Chain A
Amino acid sequence: MRLRHAVAALALAALGCRGERAEPRTLRINLATEPPTLDWNLATDGVSIIAIQQLMRGLTKLGEDLRPEPDLAASWDVSADGRRYTFHLRPGVLWSDGAPLVAQQFVDSWQRLLAPATAAEYAYFLFGIRGARDYNGGKLADFAQVGVRAPDAATLEVELAAPLVYFPALVNFMVTFPIRRELVERFGERWTDPGNLVSLGPFTLEEWRHEYRLVLRANPRYWAGRPPLDRIDAYMVQEGSTSLVLFEQGLLDLVRIPPLEIRRYEGRPEYVRKPLLRGYYYGFNTRRPPFDDARVRRAFALAIDRSQFPPLLRGGEQAWSSWIPPGMPAANRELGLRFDPGKARALLAEAGVDPAQLAPVRIVFNSDQAHKLVAEQVQAFWRDNLGVRVELAPREWKVFLKELANDPPPVFRLGWGADFPDPDNFMNLFTSYSENNHTGWANPRYDALVEEAAREPDLARRQALYDRAQRILCEEDVPIVPLFVTGANFAVAPRVQGFVPSAMDLFFFEKVSTE
């Protein structure tokens, strides 16, 4: 009897607390993991960027159509040769401590980003600037030789090594955001701690309980006006299913839906789906037989029926046979090899490969439920349509990466998400000199087309260049087989208004409000 009373009291207490917790004008989201850093020069990952995007702004921002639009830069000019960009800063922008934004703060940031001692992983975002790569590699000691300067407080001049038509999209990325050098020097590595961190975006940092929660506060000095929310509580609930239960208990307002639960949410008003600029592909090691023969690679690509992946994975995937993802400029759904098992077998025979004699083909992927499902499906396609034996080899993540770098497996799975919404970010990946090209494939024609497209300001001509490059990549040489693009799936509480998901998987809460 006493026990029953205790349980009832406990339950009442729990319910009592629950009612108070949903404070008005507070948004409770799940980051899933601890952001490795809030230092925007050093951050590289998808969690840190969620927090940093609320705290900071860049020269440009991305519009609905993913084109760069003015943000901290009110406008910019490009020289006739495409090598010189002049950004004119928006007047009257203040940091959260009241100090004004000046152009030198961008120069300071870029110098810190590129300095070898900073060891910033994403320093290469600015390698397009004259002298930047040499400065980062220690070959150039004087930063004055690097092509960036602030002739006055409102002007930032950038000189590129070669024309890059997508440069305004690059400076929307967090590593290029301005810094307050004097604060970084005063606080050292602690400059991003609450109390030390000064920012100029819609929110400021109030609390950072590591591995648990970040609390952000509305910034009354934000140049575009104080946001409707008072505060954002960003929790770090690792387990997707726990996060969803907390959403259902009313303790979180915005969470990602784990793949297995998506079916349960489809059709409900809380469900939000967004296709991402993120491609999923299978790569071949083109230096080793049998995949050193383009006909064999084409045959294996033709034997895959991409339409089977979306119903298998159910995460909002979209079958896609070319490399530039839909939603990105120059994407083209007509390109790539379609499912044609008859043609696949003919090509294999033409290449002189007898499927019965072929040693088992090894597919290597990092251990994960979705990657395993895809690999099993591909295994079935190649067995049924080509008659080849396939073995699956899951690997721990870092072991997998090491193998890709040292001795790429015959077939491997990888993905790529857009850092900035320009086709160059995808197409550059398979140039002969890209560190991320694990296929061993090199085609000078492809390299030349991608380089030319990066300099080409005319959109129609650019599209034509990328179409030709994509034909080489996905129809002729086929070092990779693009399979599908992925999606993001969210549960959003009814009390949240104005949440717009982004194809880059970024989050902007400055226009979000709660009841």
Chain B
Amino acid sequence: MIRYALRRLLAGIAVLWVVATVTFALLRVVPGGPFDKERVLPPEIMRNLERRYALDASLGEQYVDYLRRLAHGDLGPSYKYVGRDVADILAEALPASLELGALAFALAAAGGIALGLAAGTRRDTAVDRAIGLASLVGVSAPRFVTGAALILAFGLALDWLPAGLWEGPLYAVLPALTLAALPLAYAAQLTRAQVVAVMGQDYVRTARALGVPEPRVRRRHVLRNALLAVLTYFGPLLATLLTGSFVVESIFAIPGIGRFFVTAVTNRDYPLVLGVTLVYAAMVVVANLAVDLAYAWVDPRIRVGAEKS
């Protein structure tokens, strides 16, 4: 098990290196640089800027230098935010994204599984159909629509909740709901489908025939087996939610890292783009690793298979 985890960790580091390299290359291919502005700068000032940020070195030198710094955990200075390091920017912005993401993940996971189980075990009833319709809406509505609808209802019409800013638990309600709506609905659909499939299995019929009480059948035999497929979805979902959402953070004015995924590219702030990309990639790698380990724990066949190979 430990050897398995270690091997996956090494593979993860290789993935990060590939991501850093590809991002580095792509950024230099995209036209326009960090100091191209509406007010064009005189050539001597452009030269001073390029020298300051070592952009006058050859691309190869810049790449080697970048990797060397990266190995020491130095993500370099931001080109846009004068005097601030990318590591500092990310460290300051990450907590808000993590809090919001964790909240939304908890909402999506708990709500999605509960609704999916409720619908799957009451197949073709009014409850099933209502949940089916609601989850269809949830899966289809883009976040900016969900967010706007929530702001309109609870912010403007009812005036119960603030429409933005990040000052305390009340301020997290609307953005967390907005962020959770889509994965919640999707998790509900996924869980329902799995539950329906598992309910038809022989071992469920056997358990019932043996007189196991229905709640116990659902918890032990149905849910546990149905969750396997849902878990696969939760890994990348957790990574996505924890690294912030550009749309939700912009709409609700939350100081997270989500906005940098767009603004850093618009500004051609190379070190910041690389920084957020690497953070996201690292989260995905870790979350997938966690899911695989959880998998192995839930389903012994996977663990045995891995150790044999």
Interface of A toward B, CB cutoff 8 Å = 7, 10-11, 13-15, 17-18, 34, 36-37, 39, 42-44, 116-121, 123-124, 127, 133, 136-138, 189-190, 192, 209-212, 235-239, 241-243, 245-246, 248-249, 251, 396-403, 405, 414-415, 435-436
Which residues of the partner chain B approach A400 to less than 8 Å between Cβ atoms? 32
Minimum C-beta distance from B222 to chain A (A) = 27
Inter-subunit contact B37/A401 (CB<8 Å): yes
CA distance A121 to B38 in the complex (A): 12
- The answer to whether B45 touches A402, judged by C-beta atoms less than 8 angstroms apart, is no
A245 touches B253 (CB 8 A): no
Find chain A residues with CB under 8 A from B250 CB: 238-239, 242
A118 to B93, CA, bound (A): 27
* A17 with B170, Cβ < 8 A, contacts A211-B93, A398-B31 known: yes
Interface residues as binary, B132-174 with A (CB distance below 8 Å gives 1, 0 otherwise)? 0000000000000000100100011011111111101010010
List of B residues within 8 angstroms of A124 by Cβ: 41-42, 45
Q: B253 contacts A249, CB within 8 Å?
A: no
Closest chain-A Cβ to B175's Cβ sits at a distance in Å of 11
Contact A37 B83 (CB under 8 A): yes
Q: Is the CB of A435 within 8 A of B52?
A: no
A-B contact pairs, 21 of them (CB 8 A): A11-B161, A37-B82, A39-B82, A119-B48, A121-B41, A123-B48, A138-B44, A189-B82, A189-B83, A210-B81, A211-B93, A235-B253, A237-B253, A242-B253, A249-B163, A398-B32, A398-B268, A402-B31, A402-B36, A414-B38, A436-B40
Q: Apart from A37-B81, A127-B42, what 14 extra A-B contacts exist at CB < 8 Å?
A: A10-B173, A36-B80, A43-B82, A44-B39, A121-B49, A133-B44, A136-B44, A192-B83, A239-B253, A242-B253, A245-B151, A398-B36, A398-B268, A435-B40
Main secondary structure of the interface of A (DSSP, over half): helix
Are the CB atoms of B162 and A246 closer together than 8 Å? yes
CB-CB < 8 A to A239: which residues of B?
164, 250-251, 253
Interface residues of B (CB under 8 A from A): 30-33, 35-45, 47-49, 51-52, 80-84, 89, 92-93, 148, 151, 155-156, 158-166, 168, 170, 173, 250-253, 255-256, 259, 266, 268
A405 near B36 with CB under 8 A, answer: yes
Instruction: Report the separation of the CA atoms of residues A309 and B266 in the bound assembly, to the nearest whole angstrom.
Output: 28
A36: chain B residues within 8 A (beta carbon) = 80-82
CB distance from A425 to the nearest CB of B (A): 11
- A176–B6 Cα gap in the complex (Å)? 57
Q: Is B45's CB under 8 angstroms from A121's CB?
A: yes
With a cutoff of 8 Å between Cβ atoms, the chain B residues found around residue A138 in the complex are 44
| Interchain CA distance A127-B44 in the complex, whole Å | 11
Closest 3 CB pairs of A and B: A398-B32, A189-B83, A137-B44
Q: Are B37 and A34 in contact (CB under 8 A)?
A: no
Query: A123: which B residues are within 8 A, CB to CB?
Result: 45, 48
Report yes or no: A136 in contact with B48, Cβ–Cβ below 8 A.
yes
Residue of B30, B39, B81, B159 most packed against chain A (CB within 10 A):
B39
Q: Bound state CA distance, A401 and B165, in angstroms?
A: 33
Task: Collect the chain B residues with CB atoms within 8 Å of residue A136's CB.
Answer: 44-45, 48
